[in-house]
Each structure stands twice: as structure tokens, then as C-alpha cells.
Amino acid sequence: MRSHTEIIVIKLKVLLVTLSMSLLLSSCTSTVDISGHFPSPVIDRLPYSIGVIFNKEFSDYRYIEKGEKRKKWEISVGDAQVEMLNVVLKAMFLNMEIKSNFQNTSGNTLDLFFQPNLESFQYNVPYETKGNMFEVWLKYNMKVYDSQGQIIADWVLTAYGKTPSEFFQSEEAALNDAMVIALRDLGAGLSLKFTQVPEINKWLKMQEKSSESSIEIVKNNFVNQIVLGI
């Protein structure tokens, strides 16, 4: 017959082994829900209304690592990329609305529709890089349609972010930081180069809604050419 103390010691040992096992098992997959702060860009607004279509695939985008030689990661990018684009597009256009399709609602005519698509997501963790860094590459396919739903422009926009690994920082936090930097890079590329996409530039030149519009477009192009040297 075991004493009460012996039973408690056995229970504690079982608890310790269970805790160790659960710790080991939970460390098998790293889950990250990307979140960060996305500031509004300092740019001149284009005098147009735009409808933005975030399809389900885009807004729920979740990367699941399937490589056998890599650590298991589940990275949710959808919410963060939608949040970033909401902030950037609101600053780029006079009016921005989230739409589910290319239908113009009565009484509120939209000039353009914008549909982003994340085509490729890649990352590296420190043991895979020479420089002990977390790196993220994003490749987007951006599409812009006119008010009738006819395609105007279709181009590829890439973004990159990196962050060094730090002593007391978790891998998840470091990858989140690299991802936020990449999304900020995407916002910079979109807001500063939008009017330089040849098809969009051509469409903008064709629009002569009002003299005020023309002045705004010229001003926006001037900023890109002067500041970026493009």
C-alpha cells in the first residue's frame, strides 16, 4: 500500500512528463497571425473613386509550410494585407469602397475597380540565410478595371522585408516584423508607382473630367518623377 506522499510524487512526475511532451509537441508548428501598424502615406490623392475587390482567397490567405526539411509554419497574411491596402488606397483616391463585384451601385459611380492577388509568398529563417535574418518576399498581381469592369492594367508588384534575429525575440515575432516591413514596402510601391504603370498612366491622361482633375494628375506625376527620379 503506497503512502499519500508517494502518490502525490507519482502524480507530479506524470504531470511533469505530460507537460514536457506537450511542450515538445506544441513546438512542432509555429503559428503567426501577421499584425502591425500601417501608416497613411503622404501623397497627393487622385481625384477618382475606386472600388476594391478583396476575394476570399486574398482576405483569408494563409501560408502552410509543407516542405519536409523545413519547420512547420502556419502564417496568416490575409487580414494584415487587407488592412494595409485599405489604409493606402484610402490615401491614394478621393473615395474608396470595398466591393464584392464589379457592379456600380446606383447614385455612387465608381471610376475604377482594383483587385489584388497574392501570387507567391516566400520566407527564409536565420539558419537558411547567411546573414542570420528573417526574410519575406511577396509577389502580387494587381489588376485595375474601368467602371464597366473592363480590364485597364494588369501588373506584377513585388515586396521584400527582412529583420535580424534577436536574442530574446521569438521566431514568430521576428517573422511578423519581417512581414510587416514587406507589407509597408508593398504600400510604398503601390502608392508611389501606381500612376507610372503605362496603362494606368494612359487612362489617367485620357480622363479630362475637369480642369481640377487634370491639375491633380499632373501634380501626382510630377511628385513621382521629381522625388523618385522615374
Under the binding rule (CB under 8 A), the answer on residue 40 touching other proteins is yes
Q: Choose between 140 and 145: whose C-beta lies nearer to other proteins.
A: 140
Q: Count the Cβ atoms, other than its own, within 10 Å of residue 132.
A: 11
CA pair distance 35, 29, nearest whole angstrom: 19
Residue 138 phi, psi (nearest 5): -125, 135
Can you read off the three cell numbers belonging to residue 111? 471610376
CA pair distance 157, 147, nearest whole angstrom: 23
Binding-site string for other proteins from residue 132 to residue 171, where x marks contact by CB under 8 A and - marks none = xx--------------------------x-xxx-x-----
Do 192 and 44 meet the contact criterion of CB atoms below 8 Å apart?
A: no
Distance of CA 47 to the CA centre of its chain: 25
CA pair distance 31, 28, nearest whole angstrom: 10
Under the binding rule (CB under 8 A), the answer on residue 109 touching other proteins is no
Under the binding rule (CB under 8 A), the answer on residue 128 touching other proteins is no
Q: Which stretch binds other proteins (CB under 8 A): 39-47, 63-71, 147-155, 198-206?
A: 39-47
Under the binding rule (CB under 8 A), the answer on residue 218 touching other proteins is no
Q: How far is the CB of 208 from other proteins (least distance, A)?
A: 25
Measured torsion, CA atoms of residues 163, 169, 174, 180, in degrees rounded to the nearest 10: -90
Under the binding rule (CB under 8 A), the answer on residue 191 touching other proteins is yes
Q: Choose between 10 and 151: whose C-beta lies nearer to other proteins.
A: 10
Q: Which stretch binds other proteins (CB under 8 A): 35-43, 53-61, 66-74, 137-145?
A: 35-43
Q: How many residues bind other proteins (CB under 8 A)?
A: 33
Q: Which stretch binds other proteins (CB under 8 A): 45-53, 63-71, 130-138, 207-215?
A: 130-138
